[in-house]
Each structure stands twice: as structure tokens, then as C-alpha cells.
């Protein structure tokens, strides 16, 4: 056989390798497609069963008839309170810590300890956070069962997300910008304030979104610390107790008798809607900010 003929022709071994590679590709594609199924399943069931019960009245009216009828306004307002206060607490703390860790801290045992603590904090189950919240905020700090105690618990729980997202977006600002500032005699803070922060806004915002959407949906941490089965009014301050969407969903699904079957799905739809709406807002903001960024 002359080398001329077969130089660039397929060999049998190659055919086999190609078949194998096609198979693997299809398998991987199939597994990836499987990912979409649960999302579609959850969404379609909730929309199909929850949508008929949705109306403006459902969102704006308080519950009636032992929560088997009426709307969910108190729960919706309560969730907004809980999330907003949690964010007000977690954001300054988390962003400050991230700035310190990313821009000031040297790599020593203390920094490593702090980093390990953050990773572990993120891994703590939410029910444990709930118990911690009861001990630390409700009893020890005498906040009582209140929005403040519940929001503190949520804040502790979402802190790692805020810190990690902020730190990563700070570290994404190219080092040459910092060097340029330092070589002009800028202090670290001047560098951070004038150059680093303005260019990491979009990443910090992502952290905020993640924090918010996690806080909105959490149930366990607020159940023991500030959320109630039923409150006949919407909260007026951080020391009030309040209803919340997530606990309300739990209650109408499992705790309260004679709830019409569609009601829990309508509550779930509202909850998902709130999270998606927040994510969408934040993603829009983020794309705007990123569009301005060029280097």
C-alpha cells in the first residue's frame, strides 16, 4: 500500500473514535436537557393551578375566613419588610467586609480563618440559622419575636453570598488600575473610592440580588424569629411581628384545614413572581452598568 493513497483518509480506528465521541456528545446533551425538565415542571404546575386564583384583590386584600379565602396582602407586605430590613443590615456589613478582605487584608492566618468562616457560614443549614436567631436575637438581645429578629437572622444567613459576590467583583477590577493610582501617590482608600468601587458596581449588585432572592424565599429562619401564622394588620415598625409569603405558603399548605386547593399555588406563584421580578430588575441594572464598562 503506497503512503500516497491513505495519507489523509479515514482509518478504521478513527471511525470507531468518532462513533464513540458522537455517543458521548448525545448523552451529555440529553443530561443537560434533563435539567430543564424540573424547572418547566415546577413552573407549569404552579402557573396552571395558581393562575386562576390570581387577581389584584388577591394581592391587595387581607386574608379572610381563617385564611381560607381573601388575599395575601399582609404576607406580601411582611415579606417586603423582612427582606428590606435584612438587606439594610447585610449590605453594609457584607460590602465592608469584602472591601477589607479584597483590598486591605494580607494573606495570613487571620485572613484565612475569616475566609474559612465565611465558607462555613454559607454551608450552615437554614434551620440552624433559625435556632441561632432565636437564641441570639429573640432572647439574648431582647428583640423578641419581631421583624428585626427575623431580618437579623436572614442577614446573617445571606452575608456570605454578599461577601463572596462583592469580593469577586472587586477582584475583577484589573490590577493595573490600582498600580496606576498608587504610582500617583493615592492611598488605598482613594484608589478604592475613585476607581475600584465605581467599576465593580455591577458585581456588587449581583450579590445584592442573590441575597434578596434568597431572603425572600427562606422559611425556617423567620418561622421561629418573627413570622406569624396570622396577623390582623400589616407591620408598622421593625418590632412588630408579621406574616410572610414563605411561611404563609407553608401554613396554607399544611397547617390550616379546608383551604381551597388552588390557594397554595397562587401563593407560590406570587412568591416566585416576586423573586423573578427582583432578579429581572437587577439583571437589567447590571447590564446597563456593564455596558458602560470598557477596558
Partner 1 sequence: MDSAASAARPATGLAIEARGLNLWYGKFQALRDVNLQIRRGIVTALIGPSGCGKSTFLRSCNRINERLGYVSTTGTIQVLGHDIYGPDVSPIQVRRQIGMVFQRPNPLPLSIRDNILFGMRIHREEALHRAEADAIVEKSLREVLLWDRVKDRLSKKATTLSLEEQQKLCIARLLPLRPEVLLMDEPCSALDPEATRAVEDLIWDLRGNYSILIVTHNMAQARRASDECVFMLLGRVIEHSRTEDMFVTPQKTETADYIEGRFG
Shortest CB 37 distance to partner 1, Å? 43
Binding residue (CB under 8 A) for partner 1 from 59, 114, 195, 229: 195
Q: How far is the CB of 187 from partner 1 (least distance, A)?
A: 7
C-alpha gyration radius of the chain:
26
Please report where in the chains the cell 414563605 appears, as a residue.
Answer: 246
- The yes or no reply on residue 142 touching partner 1 (CB under 8 A) is no
- CA torsion angle for 139, 142, 144, 147 (degrees, to 10)? -110
Q: By CB under 8 A, what part of segment 105-134 binds partner 1?
A: 106
CA distance 295 to 78: 43
Verify binding: residue 295, partner 1, rule CB under 8 A. Answer: yes
Among 190, 255, 281, 284, binds partner 1 (CB under 8 A): 190
* Comparison of 3 and 184: residue with beta carbon closer to partner 1: 184
Whether residue 249 contacts residue 218, with contact meaning beta carbons closer than 8 Å, is answered with: no
Spell out, one character per residue from 158 to 187, where the chain touches partner 1: x when CB under 8 A holds, - when not: ------------------xx-xxxxxxxxx
Residue 290 binding partner 1, by CB under 8 A: no
Cβ nearer to partner 1, comparing 111 with 253: 111
Q: Give Cα 185 distance to the centre of its chain.
A: 39
Least Cβ distance, residue 184 to partner 1 (angstroms): 5
Structure-block grid coordinates of residue 204: 456588587
Min CB(178)–partner 1 separation in Å: 8
Burial of 279 (0-12, 13-18, 19+ CB in 10 A): middle
CB 269 within 8 A of CB 46: yes
- What DSSP element (H or E) covers 132? helix 126-133
Q: Which stretch binds partner 1 (CB under 8 A): 146-154, 189-197, 217-225, 275-283?
A: 189-197
Minimum Å distance from CB 197 to partner 1?
A: 12
Q: Please name the residue ranges forming H helices in the chain.
A: 3-6, 12-50, 56-60, 73-99, 109-123, 126-133, 147-171, 175-183, 188-191, 201-217, 220-223, 245-250, 263-292
> What are φ and ψ of residue 69, in 5° steps?
-145, 180
| Closest CB to partner 1 among residues 13, 106 | 106
Which of 16, 194, 288, 290 binds partner 1 (CB under 8 A)? It is 194
Nearer to partner 1, 139 or 288 (CB): 288
Q: Please state the closest distance from residue 91 (CB atom) to partner 1, in A.
A: 24
Residue pair 78/244 in contact by the 8 Å Cβ criterion: yes
Contacts to partner 1 by CB under 8 A: 106, 176-177, 179-187, 190, 194-195, 198-199, 293-295
Amino acid at each position: 500500500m503506497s503512503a500516497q493513497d491513505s495519507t489523509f483518509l479515514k482509518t478504521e480506528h478513527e471511525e470507531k473514535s468518532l462513533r464513540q465521541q458522537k455517543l458521548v456528545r448525545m448523552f451529555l446533551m440529553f443530561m443537560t436537557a434533563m435539567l430543564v425538565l424540573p424547572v418547566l415542571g415546577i413552573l407549569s404546575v404552579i402557573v396552571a393551578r395558581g393562575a386562576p386564583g390570581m387577581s389584584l384583590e388577591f394581592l391587595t386584600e387581607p386574608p379572610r375566613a381563617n385564611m381560607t379565602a381573601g388575599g395575601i396582602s399582609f404576607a406580601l407586605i411582611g415579606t417586603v419588610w423582612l427582606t428590606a430590613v435584612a438587606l439594610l443590615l447585610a449590605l453594609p456589613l457584607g460590602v465592608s467586609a469584602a472591601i477589607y478582605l479584597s483590598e486591605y487584608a494580607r494573606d495570613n492566618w487571620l485572613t484565612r480563618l475569616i475566609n474559612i468562616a465565611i465558607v462555613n457560614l454559607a454551608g450552615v443549614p437554614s434551620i440552624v440559622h433559625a435556632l441561632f436567631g432565636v437564641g441570639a436575637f429573640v432572647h439574648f438581645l431582647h428583640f423578641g419575636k419581631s421583624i428585626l429578629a427575623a431580618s437579623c437572622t436572614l442577614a446573617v444567613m445571606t452575608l456570605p453570598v454578599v461577601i463572596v459576590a462583592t469580593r469577586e467583583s472587586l477582584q475583577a477590577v484589573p490590577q493595573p488600575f490600582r498600580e496606576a493610582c498608587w504610582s500617583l501617590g493615592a492611598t488605598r482608600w482613594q484608589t478604592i473610592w475613585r476607581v475600584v468601587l465605581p467599576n465593580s458596581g455591577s458585581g456588587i449588585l449581583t450579590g445584592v440580588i442573590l441575597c434578596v432572592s434568597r431572603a425572600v424565599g427562606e422559611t425556617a429562619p423567620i418561622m421561629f424569629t418573627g413570622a406569624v401564622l396570622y396577623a390582623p394588620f400589616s407591620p408598622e415598625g421593625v418590632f412588630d411581628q408579621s406574616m410572610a409569603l414563605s411561611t404563609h405558603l407553608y401554613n396554607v399548605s399544611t397547617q390550616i384545614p379546608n383551604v381551597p386547593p388552588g390557594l397554595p399555588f397562587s401563593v407560590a406563584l406570587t412568591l416566585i413572581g416576586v423573586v423573578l421580578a427582583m432578579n429581572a430588575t437587577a439583571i437589567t441594572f447590571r447590564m446597563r452598568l456593564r455596558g458602560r464598562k470598557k477596558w
